[in-house]
């Protein structure tokens, strides 16, 4: 695993305009960064990332199966009691899912260690499935990169195939897409999924989460009073279960992507549960619930059960707090995870996001940050496989 | 190969560059297929042909126009758009600053079980080109890039999946805004309040 500087494509910003990639620069800082790329060997990709990704996904599904059968665990996972049946029946019906992203600390040698599972609302999908694919294509065509260069990235192909499968279950049904307002990044991600669904022959519609309505009959509606019967939402279940319309989820027949059972996987309580069920697994970091007995960690990280993008994280070394990131989360309890710093390449800390479409590993994204905790402001770098 | 084998870049493109639309990238529909749609160049043409269905024509026309704004190829410059579609054939998109071709007509599907009746729920915008530089000059084309023969044809065969179905409607929406409050509460706390950030992770 190498970090190799490369000249930017001279016209990439123009290309980004053409393809509607609007969030390559965020908060005035570069987000898409093609001044360098990461290079992996095929063996690193397949043995160290792809295989563990499939295995951990299976382990996560085992956790869901355990949690939905136990009231005590549903409580630990902060699932509102009113919605226990809603979530359990979604699991028992085997409601279809679309995608997830596992985040790993990996430095090219040894085991990739799981940081967390973004199973409900993962982003950086467009950059991965399409934009870094295009980067490789154009760098190879212009002779900047070898024809032998490949990429671990069959995301777009697998996404379209997955939509084709999902459409077979609901022939002719329109699929509504949603995310919250005022974020180019989320809207861009959702638009990409819409494009993939359209290519799979599905009619797609869009409505913002804030604009969703409720009909007399209990259907959710878009702004044109269409009944929403099938919806992809880039919006966390942990919010939806606590908002005004939460009770209406119960008596309503909308099929959701991601399905309600994903609320258990997008929750950091997953990490201590994985460690309980699969102790000392080589790809796991020791993890505990706050208040567990026999926590034997000198260096550890405290994370809220609900949090995104590195908010509210505290780092302790030799029992002393050495770093803290503020944020709005943490009311619902915290977990403790063994400290395992991200590998450093030059001045950058590097995090690998490993994608699954349904249960198949489908590619990776590489993000860099100048601090140890990866946040929204991290930069996205492309990667290749060579050798 | 560990990556996606092929991506159709034309489909992924949000803003067109001149010369990017052409017969080469379109799906040509076989001539042997029976016409299954009728084309009207204007709303009046539809009303004249269907005297008892004026409001249905209006509905179908508005639907096609809405779909045009959503799906038409967009150009950042008027010159690029006119290069493709001809002088005076482009308008500014009402929401973005980009340029799009005019709706040259709209197609109405014939009812499935009765060849004489039209299904006013299934309408699609059609565009065409008057530009000597364009491959699609004087052809009907849907906004997904499929061409349907000469612009002088009044009935055409349109692939079935070209008509987007209207989802079922409810009688009345009684409230709105029951989702989204947590995102607002959490982001207004955030130090990056100006941009608020997404809820993805």
On average, the pLDDT of chain A sits at 93
CA distance linking residue A102 with residue A365, whole number of Å = 10
Stretch (H or E) spanning B185 = helix B181-189
Is B116 in CB contact (< 8 Å) with chain A? Answer: no
Per-residue pLDDT, averaged over B91-99, amounts to 88
A322 band by pLDDT with thresholds 50, 70 and 90: confident
CA distance linking residue A30 with residue A159, whole number of Å = 27
B193 band by pLDDT with thresholds 50, 70 and 90: very low
B200 band by pLDDT with thresholds 50, 70 and 90: low
pLDDT at A53: 98
pLDDT at B28: 41
Contacts of B124 in chain A (CB under 8 A): none
Per-residue pLDDT, averaged over B52-60, amounts to 88
DSSP 3-state of A105: strand
Considering only residues B165 and B189, tell me which one the structure prediction assigns the higher pLDDT: B165
Is B172 in CB contact (< 8 Å) with chain A? Answer: yes
Contact B3 A151 (CB under 8 A): yes
pLDDT at B87: 93
pLDDT at B176: 96
Q: Over the stretch A242-264, which tens digit does the pLDDT of each residue have?
A: 999 999 999 888 999 999 999 99
Least Cα separation, residue A185 to chain B (angstroms)? 7
pLDDT at B25: 39
Q: Are residues B159 and B116 in contact, defined by beta-carbon separation less than 8 angstroms? A: no
The alpha carbon of residue B93 and the mean position of all alpha carbons in its chain are separated, in whole angstroms, by 13
Q: How many Cβ pairs within 8 Å bridge chains A and B? A: 194
Q: Which of A14-23, A24-33, A252-261, A374-383 has the lowest mean pLDDT?
A: A374-383
pLDDT at A319: 82
Q: Are residues A54 and A214 in contact, defined by beta-carbon separation less than 8 angstroms? A: no
Q: Is the pLDDT of residue A238 over 80?
A: yes
Q: Which of A62-66, A107-111, B75-79 has the lowest mean pLDDT?
A: B75-79
Contact A213 B186 (CB under 8 A): no
Least Cα separation, residue A123 to chain B (angstroms)? 5
Beta strands in B60-117 (DSSP E): 90-92, 99-101, 105-110
Q: Over the stretch B99-113, which tens digit does the pLDDT of each residue have?
A: 999 999 998 877 765
Of B15, B76, B175, the CB nearest to A213: B175
pLDDT at B116: 63
A381 band by pLDDT with thresholds 50, 70 and 90: very high
Q: Is the pLDDT of residue B1 over 60?
A: yes
Q: Which of A281-295, B162-176, B183-197 has the lowest mean pLDDT?
A: B183-197
Is A95 in CB contact (< 8 Å) with chain B? Answer: no
pLDDT at B196: 38
Q: Is the pLDDT of residue B127 over 50?
A: yes
Whole-prediction pTM: 0.82
Least Cα separation, residue A290 to chain B (angstroms)? 23
A52 band by pLDDT with thresholds 50, 70 and 90: very high
CA distance linking residue B117 with residue A134, whole number of Å = 46
Contact residues for A78 (Cβ-Cβ < 8 A; gap 6+)? A238, A267, A269, A305, A306, A332, A333
Contact A18 B17 (CB under 8 A): yes
Q: Is the pLDDT of residue A46 over 70?
A: yes
CA distance linking residue A228 with residue A20, whole number of Å = 27
pLDDT at A188: 92
Is B14 in CB contact (< 8 Å) with chain A? Answer: yes
The answer to whether the Cα torsion of B196, B198, B199, B201 is positive or negative is negative
Considering only residues A385 and B11, tell me which one the structure prediction assigns the higher pLDDT: A385
Contacts of B11 in chain A (CB under 8 A): 195, 199
Contacts of B181 in chain A (CB under 8 A): 243-244
Is A234 in CB contact (< 8 Å) with chain B? Answer: yes
Residues 135-174 of A with CB under 8 A from B: 136, 150-157, 172, 174
Q: Over the stretch A284-315, which tens digit does the pLDDT of each residue have?
A: 999 999 888 888 899 999 988 887 666 778 88
Least Cα separation, residue B122 to chain A (angstroms)? 13
The DSSP bridge partners found for residue A249 are none
Is B19 in CB contact (< 8 Å) with chain A? Answer: no
Cis peptide bond prior to A258, omega within 30° of 0 = yes
Residues 44-83 of B with CB under 8 A from A: 76
B199 band by pLDDT with thresholds 50, 70 and 90: low
pLDDT at A330: 64
Q: Is the pLDDT of residue A362 over 80?
A: yes
Considering only residues A125 and B52, tell me which one the structure prediction assigns the higher pLDDT: A125
pLDDT at B32: 44
pLDDT at B22: 52
Q: Which residue of B has its CA nearest to A238?
A: B182
Is A236 in CB contact (< 8 Å) with chain B? Answer: yes
B194 band by pLDDT with thresholds 50, 70 and 90: very low
Q: Which of A206-220, A310-324, A349-363, B95-109 has the lowest mean pLDDT?
A: A310-324
Q: Are residues A289 and A92 in contact, defined by beta-carbon separation less than 8 angstroms? A: no
Contact B200 A242 (CB under 8 A): no
Q: Is the pLDDT of residue B24 over 90?
A: no
């Amino acid at each position: 695993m190498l970090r190799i500087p490369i000249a930017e494509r001279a016209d990439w910003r123009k290309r980004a305009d053409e393809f509607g990639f609007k969030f390559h620069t965020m908060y005035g800082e570069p987000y898409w960064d093609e001044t360098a790329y990461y290079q992996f060997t095929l063996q690193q990709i397949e043995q160290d990332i792809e295989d563990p990704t499939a295995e951990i996904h299976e382990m996560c599904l085992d956790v869901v199966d355990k949690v939905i059968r136990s009231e005590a665990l549903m409580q630990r996972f902060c699932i509102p009691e009113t919605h226990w049946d809603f979530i359990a029946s979604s699991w028992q019906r085997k409601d279809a899912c679309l995608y997830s992203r596992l985040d790993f600390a990996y430095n090219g040698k040894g085991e990739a260690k799981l940081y967390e599972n973004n199973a409900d609302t993962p982003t950086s999908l467009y950059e991965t499935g399409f934009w870094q694919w295009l980067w490789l294509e154009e760098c190879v065509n212009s002779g900047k990169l070898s024809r032998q260069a490949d990429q671990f990235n069959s995301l777009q192909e697998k996404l379209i195939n997955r939509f084709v499968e999902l459409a077979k279950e609901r022939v002719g049904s329109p699929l509504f897409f949603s995310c919250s307002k005022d974020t180019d990044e989320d809207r861009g991600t959702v638009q990409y999924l819409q494009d993939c669904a359209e290519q799979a022959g599905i009619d797609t519609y869009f409505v913002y989460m804030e604009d969703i309505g409720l009909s007399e009959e209990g259907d959710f509606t878009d702004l044109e009073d269409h009944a929403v019967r099938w919806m992809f939402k880039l919006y966390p279940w942990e919010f939806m279960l606590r908002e005004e319309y939460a009770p209406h989820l119960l008596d309503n027949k909308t099929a959701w992507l991601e399905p309600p059972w994903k609320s258990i996987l997008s929750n950091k309580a997953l990490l201590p549960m994985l460690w309980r069920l699969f102790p000392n697994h080589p790809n796991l970091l020791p993890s505990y619930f706050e208040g567990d007995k026999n926590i034997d960690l000198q260096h550890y990280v405290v994370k809220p059960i609900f949090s995104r993008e590195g908010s509210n994280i505290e780092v302790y070394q030799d029992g002393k707090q050495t770093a803290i990131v503020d944020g709005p989360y943490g009311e619902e309890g915290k977990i403790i995870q063994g400290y395992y710093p991200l590998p450093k390449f030059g001045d950058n800390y590097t995090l690998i996001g490993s994608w699954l479409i349904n249960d198949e590993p489908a590619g990776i994204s590489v993000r860099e940050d100048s601090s140890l905790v990866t946040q929204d402001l991290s930069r996205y770098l492309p990667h290749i496989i060579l050798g | 190969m560990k990556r996606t084998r092929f991506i159709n870049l034309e489909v992924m493109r949000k803003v067109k560059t001149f010369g990017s639309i052409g017969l080469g990238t379109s799906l040509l529909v076989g001539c042997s297929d029976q016409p299954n749609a009728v084309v009207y160049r204007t709303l009046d043409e539809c009303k004249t042909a269907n005297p008892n269905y004026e409001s249905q024509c209006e509905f179908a026309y508005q639907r096609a126009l809405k779909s045009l704004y959503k799906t038409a190829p967009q150009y950042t410059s008027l010159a690029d758009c006119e290069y493709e579609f001809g002088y005076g054939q482009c308008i500014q998109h009402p929401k973005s600053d980009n340029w799009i071709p005019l709706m040259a007509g709209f197609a109405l599907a014939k009812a499935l079980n009765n060849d004489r009746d039209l299904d006013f729920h299934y309408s699609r915008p059609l565009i065409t080109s008057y530009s000597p530089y364009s491959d699609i000059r004087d052809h009907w084309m849907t906004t997904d890039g499929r061409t349907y023969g000469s612009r002088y044809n009044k009935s055409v065969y349109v692939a079935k999946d070209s008509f987007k179905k209207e989802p079922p409607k409810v009688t009345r929406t009684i409230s709105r805004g029951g989702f989204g409050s947590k995102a607002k509460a959490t982001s207004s706390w955030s130090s990056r309040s100006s941009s608020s950030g997404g809820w993805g992770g």
